[in-house]
């Protein structure tokens, strides 16, 4: 093992272009003494920093020369989020980078060195402790490790005794990565690398590198899922947040070890690249991530802005040459050098493990987040995301530029989350558990052919007086998404709304409405329309083919971050918000709704032209069956909530079990059937199809889902000849 470790760490003296030296030198005599230093040099370059002198001067104002503490830091705090004591380490890190950077005013400053030394002594002796394990086992050890690596290149060296006891504390408190999963394992393994380099411990380096790459497998536990989604904290969708963390760690270490025998294995690089290109970055429009994949982090200011993740993509340009152009396009979008739709390819994915659907087109992105008894509701732990309850119940993002929801959350009406049917309660309920509360739906899923699809969600929520249920479906095509609801029932005393959208208003763009064939502009205020034809906002048209009692508003809304995140500011925020939805009244019985979202329409004339094309047919919208046809594409999309028959002049379909299916006609006596089981029952489904214009007899297909295991919710495909 020793020779293997020595080979690993024979790195070239790194340059910014990551050029590597000949790795053939392996003898101990040639490499001993510099192997770990060369790895640390890579780490230093990764975290290179030149703090502004003004920042150092400001931080020095509260430095206590007597004991090495900071007078404005609450070292006794056990606050679970934004833990105040970590500020001490952050400031010492600033001092360390200023002291070691030749371009800095404080380079080699003797007085600053003494403050760093005394500050580290104070931290070790004071030993602050947080009730959130993450600070003790990840944040603090990582920050201290990087600080100590940086100080190794200072004019003066920290006393060996001080460094030694800090490393011992990191080892003791930092934990064993093998006992954790997913991003947490990777984060702990990172500070094992730092400590191994500082102490020249080959065994610890071996352990660290093994644990960095071991989470890069498909799993049914926390981590990368077989549908290319990501889970953390149980079966909970966490593409952002913990997805950020694991990608940060993996790509960081993969760059360190590139070109060595410890380089990331090709199969693991392939998995990471696929997740990044097809899922992670696909949920980012322009510079902003869709809010419903961020977990409890959605309640943190500026969290949807993911421009900083261009760093991960830049690393992948070096690591994955085959897909370098894709990553370069991602970087261009994240850095704002290209528009949000630049180089995007059309794609449709239903994540059958995550109860999540993502529909991407160059002109827009639309997603749906559901929850079943197989997955967890969005969490609200550590005092964060306190109003999240309805976010898992068919929540949708509708974005073109990406910033439609940027920092909207403190002023949001959290009972009007886009896509959701919910009672307008005075206080948003909290799920039974803050960390892992499963949904109750047994029918949440969808069918997909990679370009088109339909997703469905059936539920009845009796928790905390919600007492509301519905059968909701989303039908995805190129130019539009058809959204249907049926079987809407509630015994709640509150009005029941289905919210279509609640996003930032765009002052420079008019909100237009067509009602009773009369067009008008919506000014500030709240308005109600009985069966309008369409409403236009921010280049997105909303059509109402079956009418309904529609509310729309453009008004200032106020609130603060603290109300959704008890570690954030209480300062009042005010924003102008556009809201649109259906009012089903109190205690509706078998209510329905239908709306069509058509992005890319910026004038009334374009909307009317789209309507005249008449490409969409809503053939059925009941609690038993929802069917939409796209005439231009020759696609039928259907949701059967139980065994049943759909009969139409052009098609007859019979199924013996609940399912979602899609039939694509080509007019040549053949068709293709895509089918999925949102209930994941692993039971065969028999489908009979008759296309009267192609055949006089129905074709029967037995679709096999038996023993499908983790793929029980995945789409199956059958070609049919008539």
3-state secondary structure 379-398: CCCCCECCCCHHHHCCEEEE
560 and 592 in a single domain? The answer is yes
605 and 478 in a single domain? The answer is yes
> What 3-state DSSP class applies to 472?
strand
The mean per-residue pLDDT over the stretch 162-181 comes to: 95
Name the CA radius of gyration of the chain, rounded: 28
Residue 703 lies in a domain: yes
Burial of 574 (0-12, 13-18, 19+ CB in 10 A): exposed
State the CATH number of the domain containing residue 483.
Answer: 2.70.98.10
576 and 629 in a single domain? The answer is no
pLDDT for the residue numbered 4: 39
Whole-angstrom distance, CA of residue 385 vs CA of residue 562: 10
Identified catalytic residue from 44, 80, 277, 296 = 296
Q: Which residues contact 484 (CB under 8 A, 6 or more apart)?
A: 472, 473, 474, 475, 592, 593, 594, 618, 621, 626, 628
Identified catalytic residue from 99, 194, 242, 452 = 242
Whole-angstrom distance, CA of residue 166 vs CA of residue 124: 7
For residue 5, is pLDDT > 60?
A: no
549 and 682 in a single domain? The answer is no
Residue 80 lies in a domain: no
Closest CA relative to residue 483, chosen from 428, 546, 401: 546
- Element containing residue 204 per DSSP (H, E): helix 202-213
Length of the chain: 722
Whole-angstrom distance, CA of residue 370 vs CA of residue 457: 7
Bin 182: left if φ > 0, else alpha if -120 < ψ < 50, else beta. Answer: left
Q: Would residue 353 show up in a list of annotated catalytic residues for this protein? A: no
| Structural domain count of the chain | 2
pLDDT for the residue numbered 24: 29
523 and 544 in a single domain? The answer is yes
> What 3-state DSSP class applies to 365?
strand
As beta bridge partners, residue 498 has 421, 582
DSSP letter string over 535-582?
EEETTEEEE-TT--EEEEEEEEEEE-GGGTBTTS----EEEEEEEEEE
Q: Among 19-23, 149-153, 461-465, 512-516, where is mean pLDDT lowest?
A: 19-23
Residue 485 lies in a domain: yes
For 164, 453, 454, 641, 716, the CA distances from 682, given in Å and listed in that order, are 57, 21, 20, 16, 12
Q: How much is the mean pLDDT over the chain?
A: 94
- Out of 613, 647, 681, a domain closes at 613
Yes or no: say if 720 and 701 are a contact pair by the CB < 8 Å rule. Answer: yes
Reading the block at residue 407, the tokens are 């920092």
- Out of 613, 633, 656, a domain closes at 613
Whole-angstrom distance, CA of residue 444 vs CA of residue 52: 52
Task: Tell which wins on pLDDT, 14 or 559.
Answer: 559
The mean per-residue pLDDT over the stretch 317-327 comes to: 98
585 and 462 in a single domain? The answer is yes
As beta bridge partners, residue 651 has 648
For residue 265, is pLDDT > 80?
A: yes
577 and 703 in a single domain? The answer is no
Burial of 426 (0-12, 13-18, 19+ CB in 10 A): exposed
Query: What are the residue ranges of helices labelled H in 127-181?
Result: 133-134, 140-151, 160-174
Residue 101 lies in a domain: no
Reading the block at residue 459, the tokens are 């539920």
Residue 16: pLDDT band with limits 50, 70, 90:
very low
434 and 501 in a single domain? The answer is yes
Q: Which residues contact 33 (CB under 8 A, 6 or more apart)?
A: none
For residue 21, is pLDDT > 50?
A: no
Quick count: other Cβ atoms within 10 Å of Cβ 321? 10
The mean per-residue pLDDT over the stretch 564-586 comes to: 97
State the CATH number of the domain containing residue 716.
Answer: 2.60.220.10
Q: Among 12-21, 114-123, 247-256, where is mean pLDDT lowest?
A: 12-21
Yes or no: say if 581 and 595 are a contact pair by the CB < 8 Å rule. Answer: no
Residue 411 lies in a domain: yes
704 and 602 in a single domain? The answer is no
pLDDT for the residue numbered 262: 78
Yes or no: say if 475 and 482 are a contact pair by the CB < 8 Å rule. Answer: yes
Residue 629 lies in a domain: yes
Cα torsion at 298, 301, 303, 308 (round to 10°)? -170
| Residue 585 domain boundaries | 381-393+402-441+458-613
Whole-angstrom distance, CA of residue 162 vs CA of residue 160: 5
Q: What is the pLDDT of residues 449-493, one digit of tens each?
A: 999 999 999 999 999 999 999 999 999 999 999 999 999 999 999
- Element containing residue 8 per DSSP (H, E): helix 2-8
Residue 322 lies in a domain: no
Q: Which residues contact 106 (CB under 8 A, 6 or more apart)?
A: 53, 56, 95, 98, 99, 112
The mean per-residue pLDDT over the stretch 182-192 comes to: 94
For residue 149, is pLDDT > 80?
A: yes
Residue 389: pLDDT band with limits 50, 70, 90:
very high
CA 605 from chain centre, in angstroms, equals: 36
Yes or no: say if 44 and 153 are a contact pair by the CB < 8 Å rule. Answer: yes
What is the Cβ-side half-sphere exposure of residue 548, based on CA atoms within 13 angstroms?
28
Identified catalytic residue from 233, 277, 537, 629 = 233
Bin 594: left if φ > 0, else alpha if -120 < ψ < 50, else beta. Answer: beta
- Cα–Cα–Cα angle for 395, 451, 644, nearest 5°? 70
CA 492 from chain centre, in angstroms, equals: 32
Whole-angstrom distance, CA of residue 234 vs CA of residue 231: 7
Residue 514: pLDDT band with limits 50, 70, 90:
very high
Q: Would residue 233 show up in a list of annotated catalytic residues for this protein? A: yes
For 63, 143, 271, the CA distances from 112, given in Å and listed in that order, are 11, 19, 45
- Out of 613, 641, 668, a domain closes at 613
602 and 672 in a single domain? The answer is no
For residue 30, is pLDDT > 60?
A: no
Yes or no: say if 404 and 398 are a contact pair by the CB < 8 Å rule. Answer: yes
Whole-angstrom distance, CA of residue 705 vs CA of residue 715: 10
Residue 653 lies in a domain: yes
pLDDT for the residue numbered 38: 81
For residue 261, is pLDDT > 80?
A: no
607 and 688 in a single domain? The answer is no
Residue 666: pLDDT band with limits 50, 70, 90:
confident
Largest CA distance in the chain: 94
557 and 687 in a single domain? The answer is no
Q: Would residue 296 show up in a list of annotated catalytic residues for this protein? A: yes
């Amino acid at each position: 093992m020793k020779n293997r470790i020595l080979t690993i760490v024979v790195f070239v003296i790194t340059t910014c272009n990551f050029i590597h030296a000949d790795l053939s030198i392996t003898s101990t005599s040639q490499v001993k003494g510099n192997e770990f230093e060369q790895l640390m040099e890579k780490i230093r370059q990764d975290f290179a920093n030149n703090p502004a002198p003004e920042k150092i001067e400001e931080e020095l104002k509260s430095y206590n020369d007597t004991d090495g503490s900071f007078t404005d830091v609450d070292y006794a705090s056990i606050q679970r989020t934004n833990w105040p004591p970590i500020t001490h380490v952050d400031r010492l890190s600033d001092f360390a980078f200023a002291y070691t950077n030749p371009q800095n005013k404080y380079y080699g400053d003797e007085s600053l060195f003494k403050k760093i030394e005394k500050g580290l002594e104070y931290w070790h002796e004071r030993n602050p402790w947080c009730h959130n394990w993450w600070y003790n086992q990840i944040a603090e050890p990582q920050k201290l490790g990087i600080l100590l690596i940086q100080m190794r290149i200072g004019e003066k060296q920290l006393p060996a005794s001080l460094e030694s006891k800090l490393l011992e504390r990191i080892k003791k408190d930092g934990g064993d990565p093998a006992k954790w999963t997913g991003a947490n394992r990777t984060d702990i393994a990172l500070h094992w690398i730092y400590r191994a380099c500082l102490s020249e411990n080959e065994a610890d380096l071996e352990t660290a590198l093994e644990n960095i790459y071991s989470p890069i497998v498909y799993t049914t536990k926390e981590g990368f899922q077989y549908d290319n989604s990501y889970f953390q904290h149980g079966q909970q969708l966490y593409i952002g947040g913990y997805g950020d963390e694991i990608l940060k760690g993996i790509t960081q270490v993969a760059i360190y070890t590139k070109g060595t025998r410890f380089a990331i294995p090709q199969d693991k690089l392939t998995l990471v690249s696929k997740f990044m290109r097809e899922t992670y970055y696909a949920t980012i429009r322009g510079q902003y991530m869709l809010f419903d994949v961020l977990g409890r982090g959605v309640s943190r200011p500026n969290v949807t802005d993911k421009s900083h993740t261009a760093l991960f993509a830049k690393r992948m340009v070096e690591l994955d040459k085959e897909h370098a152009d894709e990553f370069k396009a991602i970087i261009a979008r994240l850095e704002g050098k290209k528009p949000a739709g630049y180089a995007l390819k059309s794609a449709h994915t239903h994540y059958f493990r995550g109860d999540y659907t993502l529909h991407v087109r160059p002109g827009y992105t639309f997603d749906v987040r559901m929850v079943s008894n197989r997955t967890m509701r969005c969490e609200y732990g550590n005092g964060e995301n306190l109003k999240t309850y309805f976010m898992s119940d068919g929540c949708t993002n509708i974005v073109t530029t990406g910033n439609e929801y940027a920092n909207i959350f403190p002023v949001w009406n959290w009972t009007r989350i886009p896509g959701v049917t919910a009672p307008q309660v005075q206080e948003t309920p909290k799920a039974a558990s803050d960390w892992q509360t499963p949904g109750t739906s047994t029918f949440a899923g969808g069918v997909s052919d990679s370009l088109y699809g339909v997703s469905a969600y059936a539920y009845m929520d009796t928790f905390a007086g919600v007492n509301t249920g519905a059968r909701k479906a989303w039908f995805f095509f190129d130019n539009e998404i058809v959204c249907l609801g049926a079987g809407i029932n509630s015994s709640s005393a509150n009005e029941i709304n289905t919210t279509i959208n609640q996003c930032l208003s765009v002052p420079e763009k008019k909100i237009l409405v067509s009602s009773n064939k009369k067009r008008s502009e919506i000014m500030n205020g709240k308005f109600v329309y009985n069966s309008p034809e369409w409403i236009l906002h921010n280049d997105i048209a909303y059509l109402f083919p079956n009418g309904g009692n529609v509310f729309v508003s453009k008004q200032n809304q106020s609130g603060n971050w603290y109300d959704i995140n008890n570690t954030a500011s209480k300062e009042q925020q005010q924003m102008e918000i556009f809201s649109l939805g259906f009012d089903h009244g109190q205690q509706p019985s078998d209510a329905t709704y239908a709306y069509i979202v058509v992005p890319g329409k910026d004038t009334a004339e374009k909307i009317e032209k789209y309507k005249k094309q008449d490409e969409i047919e809503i053939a059925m919208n009941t609690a038993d069956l929802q069917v939409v046809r796209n005439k231009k594409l020759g696609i039928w999309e259907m949701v059967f909530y139980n065994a049943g028959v759909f009969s139409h002049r052009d098609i007859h379909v019979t199924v013996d079990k609940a399912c979602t299916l899609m039939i694509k006609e080509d007019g040549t006596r053949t068709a293709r059937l895509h089918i999925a089981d949102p209930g994941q029952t692993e039971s065969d489904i028999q489908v009979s199809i008759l296309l009267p214009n192609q055949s006089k007899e129905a074709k029967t297909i037995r679709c096999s889902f038996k023993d499908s295991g983790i793929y029980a919710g995945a789409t199956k495909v059958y070609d049919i000849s008539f």
